[in-house]
Amino acid sequence: MTHQDERTILLTGGMIFDGAGQPPFAGDVLVVGNRIEAVVAASESWRPPEHATRIELAGRTVMPGLVEGHAHLSFTGAADLMDLARMPVEENLIAAICNAAILLDHGFTSLVSAAASKPRLDVAVRNAIEAGQIIGPRMLAASQEITPTGNLGDLDQLHFPIPEGARFAYVCDGPDAFRLAARRFAREGVDILKVNISGDRDWGYMGADANATLIDDDELEALVKVAHGRGRRVAGHATSASSVKMCVRHGVDIIYHAALADAEALDMVESVKDSVFVAPAVGLPYALLHESEKYRLDLGPQARRGLEEELEITARNMQELHRRGVRIVPGGDYGLACTPQGRNARDLELFVTLFGFSPAESLVAATSHGGAMMGRGHELGQLRAGWLADLIVVDGNPLEDIALLQDRERIDLVMKDGRIYRDELGGGSRADSRLLDKTAAR
């Protein structure tokens, strides 16, 4: 039942992709306040409320807002992680605020952070978005990367230790230190604790390449126990097969990469497919391999061969996990030198071209599965009556051309929580980036 004192918007005359994977259909979407009141097929007879603000879609596609599953809002295009360590927190915060606005403007209405570059950056941005002080997607805030000495993210050297307040990662060793890290980040208000379980490409010089698993079972067990006991989730950087298995053994909620998983690891992930999410973050290795020259990154023949092999194995693993019903969510380490913020939707195309997803399956991964990854699978990620009004309108049909979503000019309308933040159709009352009204967050 609608009430005239609530914001009521009727999106009419478009094609509807509901996010559940059903074929698109012509129809209307009615939004009242911050919820979807009705989704009505054109073949059904109904009378929309006369007081509704009508937005004519003229055959465009309306669909759930996109979810970025591996976001780094505080990453600023750096080619070297030391550049992020050197950046003062004030400038880094401003950059993160701008990146939040960029993602929303490109159709991402939710994001799951995969680590902040400084302790409370994510928390500050998330809180400001929720308070209506700045604009940005719904957001799960993450810790810094929690990592053992001599692993991905540890920039210290014996002759040149990084000052405590400038460290990119939170470095700790032993179960007590991992337990303390979890307690400290929970105290600071993060939603997700990000832990680097394996190494990564380019860290092999310290014995921490993508095949290496760098923490012990008791360290991860201690961190997960604290996190889950305090209602937090754990995301694990896990490229090696043994690190993926460790994630499953200890109940890690989000497995990032899983690039080099073996048959046993795939079986173990399948065994927890109802509770775990996998985000391969394929955008970065793809960009490194195919666009390094564009971004003036010097890759030698050996590095290129390594990336080719990594992408081949990752593609096979994601195809197999998808076949087994594991929820795989796009999100590709955007925010580094060759992955600028705003290009995030390219991962949806890579799901199709590399992983063999159909366009509809890729869209479901970025909407319905993304909503579940946000912890709100009962109300986010689909166009259904009673669900949150997070949606976008696309000029064209992304089921026919998934690359449309990479073109900001084809995103004609972005709505989050019933408020319009991007409107190229001229039918709604647009929320302004300067808006401080607390109702923007309701």
Pairing mode, if any, of strands 8-16 and 25-32?
antiparallel
Homologous superfamily of the 8-65+381-441 domain (CATH): Urease, subunit C, domain 1 (2.30.40.10)
Where does the chain hold its CATH 2.30.40.10 domain(s)?
A: 8-65+381-441
**In a 10 Å sphere around its CB, with 0-12 CB exposed, 13-18 middle and 19+ buried, how is residue 252 labelled?**
buried
Quick one: pLDDT band at residue 429, thresholds 50, 70, 90?
Answer: low
- pTM, two decimals, is 0.94
CATH number of 66-373: 3.20.20.140
pLDDT of residue 427: 67
For the residues of 371-428, what is the DSSP string, one character each?
HHHTT-TTTSSS--TTSB--EEEESS-TTT-GGGGG-GGGEEEEEETTEEEEESSS-S
Distance CA 79, CA 66 (A): 27
Q: Is the pLDDT of residue 433 over 90?
A: no
Q: Is the pLDDT of residue 442 over 70?
A: no
pLDDT of residue 428: 57
Q: What is the CA radius of gyration of the chain?
A: 21
Shortest CA distance to 387 belongs to which of 46, 29, 56?
A: 29
Where does the chain hold its CATH 3.20.20.140 domain(s)?
A: 66-373
The pLDDT tens digits for 12-59 are 999 999 999 889 999 999 999 999 999 999 999 999 999 999 999 998
pLDDT of residue 270: 98
Give whole-number Cα distances, 380 to 64, 136, 151, 368, 411, in Å.
Answer: 8, 16, 36, 7, 20
Distance CA 173, CA 416 (A): 41
Distance CA 285, CA 281 (A): 8
Q: Is the pLDDT of residue 441 over 60?
A: no
